[in-house]
Amino acid sequence: MKAIVQDTYGSTDALRLRDIDKPTVGDDEVLVQVRAAAIDPGVWIFMAGRPYLVRLASGLRRPRVAVRGRDLAGVVSAVGARVTRFQPGDEVYGTCLRGSYAEFASAPAQRLARKPVNLSFEQAAAVPVSGMTALRAVRDSGAVRPGARVMVIGAAGGVGAFAVQIAKAYGATVTGVCAPTKTDFVRALGADDVIDYTREEIDRDGPVYDVVIDTGGDRPLSLLRRALTSHGTLALVGGTYSQGRLLGGYGRQMFRAPLLSMLVGQQLRSVTAVERADDLEELRELIESGALTPAIDRTYPLAEVPDAIRHFAEGHPAGKVVVTI
C-alpha cells in the first residue's frame, strides 16, 4: 500500500510517499481502508520531534511510528478475532496508533465508531482528535451548563470551531476570539459575539466569563484569569510548538497552571483528550442532530501531505485541513 513515511525527525522534507506492507490486525483491532484523514497539531509536533518532551513517547532518536496521521474515516476491511462491534463494509471514523496517512490503517476497536450518516468521509475525518478534545474542554474541564458565558480563544481553529458549536449545543452564550479575517466564519459557527484579537484583548469586558477555553497556547495566565469570574474555569488545550525546544508551551499547563490553581479561587485545568468510542458516539449524535458540523478549510491528496502540513502550520486555516486517499 502507499503511505506517507518518515524515518527521521525534521521538517516536511522528511516525509516520503512510499510503498509499504499493509498493517496486520491484532485480536482487538480493525483494519480500515482509509478514505480520508486529517491534520492536527500533534502531526506537526511528532513529525518535528519538538518540543523534545514528546520524544519520550514517540522515540528519542527517531520516530517509533513511521507513518504520520491519527484521524481517519473509512471502510472496515477486516476485524480481529475479539472484535464484535464492526464487520467488513462498515463505515467508521476515529483514530489509529500507527498512522492514517496511508491506504490502510489498523486501529483499536475502542477508538472507532460508526461514521455519522450525514457526513462525507472527508467531513468525518475532520472530527475525531479535534472534536474529542473540544468535547472534553466543554463537557469535562469546563463543565459548561445552560446559561454559562463561555469564551473560546482560537475559535476558528480545529478544536476551537468544534468548541464553539459544542458549547452552544450545551446552552452557553459563546464569545469567539479570532483574527479579523475569520470573524464571519466564527459567527457562522454560532458564536454570539466575536473579539478580533488584533483590536481588542480578551479581558475587554472584565471578569465575566464562567469558562475560558484557550486553544491559542501563548497568552499569560494572568491575562486569561482577568476574563474569568472569581470562581470561573480556565481550560487549557495543548501548547504552541514555537515556545522553547524542551517543553514548548506545555510548561504552562503542566506546571504553572496546576500550581496556581491551588492558590486561587478559579480552576485552571489542562484538557486531555482520551480517545474513546463513547466520545465519538456523543459527537456522532450531535452531528446527526444538526448541532455540530465539521468545518473544512482545504483538502489535499495523499501525495501532497507535506504541502497540507505546511499549510496547516503556516496558513492559520479556518477549520480543519483534510487528506483524501
Q: Calculate the CA 122 to chain-centre distance.
A: 15
The matching CATH number, chosen from 3.30.360.10, 3.40.50.620, 3.90.180.10, 3.30.540.10, for 2-127+294-324 is 3.90.180.10
pLDDT at residue 241 greater than cutoff 60: no
Please name every residue paired with 75 in a beta bridge, in sequence order, or none if there are none.
33, 91
User: In sequence order, what E strands does the chain have?
Assistant: 2-6, 15-19, 29-39, 71-79, 91-95, 104-108, 112-114, 149-153, 173-178, 193-196, 209-214, 228-237, 267-271, 296-301, 320-324
Query: Which tens digits make up the pLDDT trace of 188-230?
Result: 999 999 999 999 999 999 999 999 999 977 789 999 999 999 9
Given this chain, do its domains 2-127+294-324 and 130-271 carry the same CATH topology?
A: no
Cβ-contact 49, 9 below 8 angstroms: yes
Please report the pLDDT score of residue 219 as a whole number: 87
What pLDDT score was predicted for residue 262?
67
| Cα(179)–Cα(192) distance, integer angstroms | 16
- Are the CB atoms for 209 and 232 separated by under 8 Å? yes
- What b-and-e string marks burial along 27-37, b requiring 16 or more CB atoms within 10 Å of the CB? eebbbbbbbbb
Q: What is the pLDDT of residue 187?
A: 98
Q: Within 10 Å of residue 109's Cβ, how many Cβ atoms?
A: 22
State the pTM of this model.
0.92
Residue 53: the pLDDT is 72
Torsion of CA 30, 33, 34, 35, to 10 degrees: -140
Radius of gyration of the chain (CA): 19
Q: Which residues pair with 299 in a beta bridge?
A: 322
**What are 145-201's pLDDT values in tens digits?**
999 999 999 999 999 999 999 999 999 999 999 999 999 999 999 999 999 999 999
All residues at 6 or more sequence positions from 262 whose CB lies less than 8 Å from its CB, including other chains: none
Q: What cell does 9 get?
A: 525527525
Lowest mean pLDDT among 112-121, 131-140, 171-180, 263-272: 263-272
Domain boundaries, the chain: 2-127+294-324, 130-271
Determine how β-strand 296-301 pairs with β-strand 173-178: unpaired
Q: What is the CATH number of domain 130-271?
A: 3.40.50.720
Of 49-58, 72-81, 130-139, 181-190, the one with minimum mean pLDDT is 49-58
Which span out of 6-15, 185-194, 244-253 was modeled with the highest average pLDDT?
185-194
**Backbone φ and ψ of 220, nearest 5°:** -60, 145
